[in-house]
């Protein structure tokens, strides 16, 4: 029997999984299909550097087809609905793609419209267009009240807003504007970061850099005329420039298929990566409700485990020895040519080392070699 394995969505996890399966399964065992709506693979961690003029979009986007094994069929098109009882994916052009095994790698959508006043009053760096626009705003900024924060959780790449605030503090120093700027960091919870050990690491750094920390700030609305951001708790903060990570939601196809929770996140077994109630469907990456960071690193390690499980399943071998343990490895830029590293899993919280130049340059190197090692599953 030739199994039809369909991966809905590319990105880190979907591309890596497809390539590993293509190498490990013969053509008479499996046909592998990746459905992608736009055909571009975007290295999203790189958006952090665009506002500071340290990266270009050209370095951060590649054609998906160029990254996929020749055995993988790339189907370009918009999936509109998943029909589990029929093992079908309905497409916007009226066609349908059948599957035996389905992997949902649909990622997360940003939802700035969920915050009244966001479009007129706030900026972010969670897309190439928004990051380039923010670059223009920073170039025009001449000092005042700069507010950086997170509108809602969960969101992609949890360290990114902290990385941004550390980098923007350095950027303002280089431009001679630091003494003319008040910087405030907003967190929707009772500390600077969701993981306590990371919060304990960054809070003194924020204080050291003169960055005010405002906790329990859950954004309700933005007043772009009065230049105020207002929280559900009733706090109002004035700004001259507001950089706010927008709310995130699960992909529209997940919501429209009834496979997600109220925000569109897929109920997923954190160990097996199986979508709960659907034994032929798995989920990886930002799309899941697994209590781990929505990051390329998590998708990377999940895809590695899932490739083992799918190969075992097709070969009639036990799957249960292949378990995702929550492993994540990522960097945290702290500005001024330094960074730290976060390594953790479900059982072991991160213990960030002191910021140093080694981790900063290691991250910059990884940004360059990513294209050659990660999508291929070589790490």
Residue among 340, 252, 328, 249 nearest 291 (CA): 328
Residue among 363, 362, 328, 360 nearest 342 (CA): 328
Q: What is the pLDDT of residues 135-175, one digit of tens each?
A: 999 999 999 999 999 999 999 999 999 999 999 999 999 99
Name the percent of the chain in helix, strand, coil, to the closest 5. Answer: 35, 30, 40
For residue 103 the two structure tokens come to: 């992997």
CATH superfamily of the domain spanning 113-247: FAD/NAD(P)-binding domain (3.50.50.60)
Residue among 376, 378, 338, 342 nearest 360 (CA): 338
Share of the chain above pLDDT 70, in %: 100
* CATH 3.50.50.60 residue window(s) in the chain: 3-107+251-314, 113-247
Cβ(159)–Cβ(45) below 8 Å: no
- Helices and strands (H and E) in the chain: how many: 10, 21
Find tokens 């093992």 and name the residue.
87
Q: Is the pLDDT of residue 333 over 90?
A: yes
As beta bridge partners, residue 211 has 183
Q: Is the bond leading into 36 cis (omega within 30 degrees of zero)?
A: no
Q: What is the pLDDT of residues 220-279, one digit of tens each?
A: 999 999 999 999 999 999 999 999 999 999 999 999 999 999 999 999 999 999 999 999
Dump the DSSP string for 193-228.
Answer: SSSHHHHHHHHHHHHHTTEEEE-S--EEEEETTTTE
Residue among 290, 324, 281 nearest 305 (CA): 324
What integer best gives the mean pLDDT of the chain?
Answer: 97
What is the spatial distance between Cα 375 and Cα 370, in angstroms, rounded to a whole number? 8
CATH superfamily of the domain spanning 3-107+251-314: FAD/NAD(P)-binding domain (3.50.50.60)
pLDDT at 314: 97
Dump the DSSP string for 313-353.
Answer: HHTT--STT------EEEEEEEETTEEEEEEE-SSS---PP
Span 325-336, average pLDDT: 97
Strand order through the sheet with 219-223: 219-223, 228-231, 236-238
Q: Is the pLDDT of residue 1 over 90?
A: no
């Amino acid at each position: 029997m030739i199994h039809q394995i369909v991966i809905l969505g590319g990105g880190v996890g979907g591309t890596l999984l497809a390539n590993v399966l293509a190498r490990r399964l013969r053509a008479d065992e499996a046909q592998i299909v990746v459905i992608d709506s736009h055909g571009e693979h975007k290295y999203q961690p790189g958006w952090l550097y665009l506002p500071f003029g340290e990266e270009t979009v050209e370095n951060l986007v590649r054609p998906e087809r160029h990254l996929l094994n020749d055995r993988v069929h790339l189907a370009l098109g918009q999936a509109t609905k998943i029909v589990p009882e029929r093992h079908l994916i309905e497409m916007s052009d009226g066609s349908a793609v059948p599957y035996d095994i389905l992997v949902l790698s649909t990622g997360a959508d940003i939802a700035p419209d969920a915050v009244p006043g966001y479009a007129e009053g706030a900026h972010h760096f969670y897309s190439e267009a928004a990051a380039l626009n923010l670059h223009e705003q920073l170039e025009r900024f001449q000092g005042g009240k700069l507010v950086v924060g997170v509108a809602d959780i969960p969101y992609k790449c949890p360290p990114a807003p902290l990385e941004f605030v550390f980098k923007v503090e350095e950027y303002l120093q280089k431009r001679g504007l630091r003494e003319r700027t008040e910087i405030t960091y907003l967190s929707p919870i009772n500390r600077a970061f969701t993981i306590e050990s990371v919060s304990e690491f960054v809070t003194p750094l924020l204080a050291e850099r003169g960055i005010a920390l405002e906790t329990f700030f859950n954004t309700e609305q933005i007043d772009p005329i009065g230049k105020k951001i207002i929280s559900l708790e009733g706090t109002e903060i004035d700004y001259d420039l507001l950089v706010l990570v927008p709310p995130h939601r699960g992909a529209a196809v997940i919501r429209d298929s009834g496979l997600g929770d109220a925000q569109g996140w897929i109920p997923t077994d954190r160990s097996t990566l199986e979508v709960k109630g659907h034994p032929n469907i798995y989920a990886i990456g930002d799309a899941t409700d697994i209590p781990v960071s929505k990051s390329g690193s998590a998708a990377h390690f999940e895809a590695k485990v899932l490739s083992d499980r799918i190969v075992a399943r097709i070969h009639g071998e036990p799957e249960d020895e292949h378990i995702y343990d929550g492993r994540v490895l990522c960097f945290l830029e702290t500005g001024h040519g330094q960074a730290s590293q976060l390594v953790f899993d479900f059982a072991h919280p991160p213990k960030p080392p002191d910021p140093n130049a080694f981790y900063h340059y290691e991250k910059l190197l990884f940004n360059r070699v990513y294209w050659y090692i990660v999508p291929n599953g070589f790490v």
